[in-house]
């Protein structure tokens, strides 16, 4: 059973090694784009099938692991694994279009070489993120989150320009500092759980013996984990790497950063939250998460209006949604279920918009809002994707994010948290205005009389997004029983209901 879960980590790395090996063969290297497209899609489909097999059929292993297992799936991390696998398949399908466009541009430029490292680094990113999610040991989880920094850095540097170089160094420096702080949290947790027999850093053992954890060392461990992993998650004020990295990476990679990388770091924080969820410390932990969540909403509200680059706007929207997740965990109770659903829905919506931004970049040569006009005439499918995806992301009905945000606001009313309710409502209103105004301008404003040339939109450049947006609308109307059970189980693991 452990073998199948371990293979979810090993399999993408093996496909990455295959991609690198094929490029070393001169006769094959000339057909690198074809093999790259085949390999990344094959790896994505295989990963999703293996993920589904963890909870379907006679080979089911989801929820079955030894108490001291290093790797294993439970309700909480299985939800995150499903999100990761689904998002990567969308990025893989879109990557076939991206690779084809990249090949054409290289042929036209003559002096550029094909980037042989795009597909291997995407696959190594899938491997390391799978490791983060499936880890049941806090030390191993830290190792994998550190590995994600190394696997994703080449994607930020993909375009090899001055801004890309600046963004990757900023990313490496800030995230390395954050991960170093998280390591202090791991060390503190080792000391905190010393009185629990044979616990080590195992999440299950620490959760079972949480009553015996030292409050002092436990508090230190959580604070360092929240700040350290919060850096990778994109919580303010540790967020400063995120807008630059998201704006410089290729769109399929940016979509993975926003939809999968940040929530994997969030899961790391949730593992610490899970350990302390039944102890008196949980009140202190929730207050910290509320504070960082509100700060993140404030930063997003300030900068989403000022950002002229659409991908940077999306990056600040990511910070907003990470803040919403933190606020939901700070509220506790029924809001925890809403957080689980919001994690799924916001990931799908953000992923859709980042992929769609790639269509605008290819059609207009830029994603600066002021330079894009007449989207509905030039790229009609992408323009309507932009509009509907934005409505879904901003929490308009019937899309499911309306349900998640409404549930959290209702929890604030129930708990009598009127000040937090007022602040959150204000910041969300500002964010909605700043984001929606830019999208309406890009999609519907007219140019200065110049003729509109309709741009070709390959089906795989829009199909993943339409699928996600339709899924978000369906989830806003009805949540399937199997998914609903998984969400409730994940929330229950964190002390929610």
pLDDT tens, position by position, 352-377 = 999 999 999 988 888 999 988 888 98
Average pLDDT over residues 230-241: 92
Split at pLDDT 50, 70, 90, the class of 447 is low
Mark out the alpha helices in 73-202 (DSSP H runs): 75-109, 118-134, 138-156, 162-192
Whether 310 shows a pLDDT value over 90: the answer reads yes
- 385: tokens are 């994707």
- Position 61 pLDDT exceeds 90: no
Number of folded domains that form the chain? 1
Tell me if 277 is assigned to some domain. no
Range of the domain at 407: 291-497
Q: Specify if 490 maps to a domain.
A: yes
Tell me if 78 is assigned to some domain.
no
Rounded Cα distance, 19 and 253, in Å: 18
Q: What is the pLDDT of residue 59?
A: 46
Structural domain includes residue 184: no
* pLDDT tops 60 at residue 21: yes
Q: What is the pLDDT of residue 294?
A: 97
- Note the pLDDT of residue 472: 97
Q: Which residues pair with 309 in a beta bridge?
A: 368
Tokens of 159: 């375009």
> Does residue 97 sit within a domain?
no
Residue 273, pLDDT above cutoff 60: yes
Mean pLDDT rounded to a whole number for the chain? 90
User: Is 372 part of a structural domain of the chain?
Assistant: yes
With a cut of 80, say whether residue 27 has pLDDT above it: no
What's residue 497's pLDDT? 72
Q: Using a pLDDT cut of 90, give the percent of the chain over it.
A: 71
Residue pair 375/386 in contact by the 8 Å Cβ criterion:
yes
- Residue 113 confidence class, pLDDT cut points 50, 70, 90: low
By the 8 A CB rule, do 81 and 18 touch? no
CA dihedral 253, 257, 258, 261 (to 10 degrees): 150
Question: Cβ distance 131 to 139 under 8 Å?
Answer: no
**Under 8 Å CB-to-CB from 56, ≥6 apart: which residues?**
none
Question: What's the mean pLDDT in 7-14?
Answer: 95
Residue 240 in domain: no
Give residue-wise pLDDT tens across range 207-225. Answer: 989 888 989 999 999 999 9
In a domain, 211, yes or no: no
> Could you tell me the pLDDT band of residue 114, with boundaries at 50, 70 and 90?
low
CB 138 within 8 A of CB 201: yes
pLDDT digits (tens, 9 = 90+) for 62-98: 666 667 788 988 999 999 999 999 999 999 999 999 9
């Amino acid at each position: 059973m452990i073998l199948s879960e371990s293979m979810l980590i090993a399999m993408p790395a093996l496909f990455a090694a295959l991609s690198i090996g094929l490029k070393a063969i001169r006769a094959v290297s000339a057909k690198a784009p074809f093999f790259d497209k085949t390999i990344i899609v094959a790896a994505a489909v295989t990963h999703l099938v293996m993920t589904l097999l963890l909870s379907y059929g006679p080979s089911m292993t989801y929820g079955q692991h030894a108490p001291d297992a290093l790797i294993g799936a439970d309700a909480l991390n299985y939800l995150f694994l499903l999100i990761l696998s689904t998002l990567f398949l969308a990025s893989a399908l879109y990557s076939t279009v991206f690779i084809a466009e990249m090949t054409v541009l290289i042929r036209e430029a003559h002096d550029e070489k094909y980037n042989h490292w795009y597909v291997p680094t995407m696959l190594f990113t899938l491997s390391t993120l799978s490791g983060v999610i499936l880890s049941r040991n806090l030390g191993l989880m830290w190792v994998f989150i550190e590995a994600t920094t190394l696997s994703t850095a080449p994607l930020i540097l993909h375009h090899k320009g001055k801004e890309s170089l600046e963004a990757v160094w900023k990313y490496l420096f800030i995230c390395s500092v954050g991960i170093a702080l998280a390591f202090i949290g791991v060390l503190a947790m080792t000391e905190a759980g010393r009185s629990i027999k044979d616990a080590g850093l195992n999440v299950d053992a620490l959760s079972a013996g949480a009553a015996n954890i030292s409050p002092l060392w436990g508090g230190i461990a959580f604070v360092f984990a929240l700040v350290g992993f919060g850096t990778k998650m994109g919580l303010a004020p540790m967020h400063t790497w995120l807008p630059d990295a998201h704006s410089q990476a290729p769109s399929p990679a940016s979509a993975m950063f926003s939809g999968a990388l940040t929530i994997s770091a969030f899961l790391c924080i949730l593992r610490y939250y899970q350990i302390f969820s039944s102890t008196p410390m949980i009140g202190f932990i929730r207050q910290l998460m509320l504070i960082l969540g509100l700060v993140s909403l404030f930063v997003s509200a300030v900068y989403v209006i000022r950002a002229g680059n659409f991908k940077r706007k999306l990056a600040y929207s990511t910070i907003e949604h990470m803040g919403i997740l933190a606020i939901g965990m700070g509220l506790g109770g029924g809001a925890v279920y809403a957080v689980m659903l919001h994690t799924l829905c916001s990931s799908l919506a953000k992923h859709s918009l980042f992929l769609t931004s790639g269509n605008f970049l290819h059609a207009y040569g830029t994603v600066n809002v002021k330079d894009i006009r007449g989207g509905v005439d030039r790229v009609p499918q992408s323009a309507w994707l932009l509009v509907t995806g934005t409505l879904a992301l901003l929490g308009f009905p019937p899309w499911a994010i309306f349900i998640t945000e409404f549930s959290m606001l209702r929890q604030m009313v129930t708990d009598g948290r009127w000040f937090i309710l007022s602040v959150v409502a204000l910041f969300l209103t500002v964010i909605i205005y700043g984001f929606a105004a830019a999208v309406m301008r890009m999609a519907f404003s007219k140019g200065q009389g110049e003729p509109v040339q309709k741009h070709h939109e390959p089906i795989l450049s829009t199909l993943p997004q339409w699928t996600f947006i339709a899924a978000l609308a369906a989830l806003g109307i009805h949540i399937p029983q199997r998914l609903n059970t998984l969400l409730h189980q994940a929330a229950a693991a964190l002390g929610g209901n």
